[in-house]
Amino acid sequence: MNVLAPEPFPSVKAKPSPAKVEKQEPKKADKPEGKLSRKDYEKALLKLQRELCYLQDWVRETGARIVVVLEGRDTAGKGGLIKRLTERVSPRTFRVVALPAPTERDRTKLYLQRYIEHFPAGGEVVIFDRSWYNRAGVERVMGYTKEKDVDRFLENVPKFERWLVESGIILIKLWLEVGKKEQERRFRQRIDDPLRQWKLSPMDIKSYSRWDDYSRARDAMFDATSHPLAPWYLLRSDDKKRARLNGIKHILSQTGYRKTKREKVKLPKRSDRSSYKEKLNLHKVKLVRDAF
């Protein structure tokens, strides 16, 4: 199985030498030491989000096109990672694509057609919250697609992705992997919390009992579609904070971006000779009531 795993996010306080990093890294990859505090997490997150803003400037300046594919088990944390990826950048540059179930018309299209329609133009980053790999995952496990169609997809998608990369698109594929016990805990949270119940779909309930089927489908997908031009990277997400930091850091590392120089903006002077006197007509406009 040709699946690479991103490096775990190092402790914010510790800055070991390169020799120590090489010695300690295998241990940290298996189980990060200690719990990441909220303070350290937010400090590290802010630093990474600043780098995402630099990435945004670079993408706009160079006309780069980036596609980020996020896949994983239900409750693995894709939504939380996407929120942190996009909360400090422009939605005109960073677009999130989360397609609903295909319509009757969609089913008459070429399978990849409905995804290609959302691909980035120059100067854009598109993040797929689930992607064309639905065919190798939920569609296969739930029996929505014939096995021969799945086999054809697994055979052809590496050719499609090779074409994307050779056309200049930066393609990043990330699989978020949550453990069985942690997934159950998160499902129960969604059942009991009104603020999270919207995340719980009938499909999630069906998939919960098919853990092993999803594992087999995942492994078959990795074996067939992880290739040198577009490898799969596995991100362990039982620890949400570390997963978000590791995920953002990994995505940044795959782009080759550089910080671009920006001229400091100076606000122009406002005219003091304005003859217009601002006065709201409260017969035409209603004020929002102060409730707080």
Sort strands 65-72 and 169-177 into parallel, antiparallel or unpaired.
parallel
What DSSP state is assigned to residue 254?
A: T
Taking alpha carbons only, the member of 117, 51, 69, 61 closest to residue 93 is 61
Query: What domains can you pick out in the chain, each with its CATH number?
Result: 37-253 (3.40.50.300)
Read off the pLDDT band of 281 (50, 70, 90): confident
Residue 1 confidence (pLDDT) above 60: no
What DSSP state is assigned to residue 59?
A: H
The residues facing 234 across adjacent strands are 175
Rounded distance, CA 264 to CA 262, Å? Answer: 6
Which pLDDT tens digit goes with each residue over 81-95?
A: 999 999 999 999 999
Residue 11 confidence (pLDDT) above 60: no
Which pLDDT tens digit goes with each residue over 177-234?
A: 999 999 999 999 888 888 888 888 888 888 888 999 999 999 999 999 999 999 999 9
Output the pTM of the full model: 0.85
- Give the H/E segment covering residue 106: helix 104-107
Asked whether 114 and 100 are in contact (CB, 8 A), the reply is no
Residue 71 confidence (pLDDT) above 60: yes
Asked whether 142 and 110 are in contact (CB, 8 A), the reply is no
Residue 79 confidence (pLDDT) above 50: yes
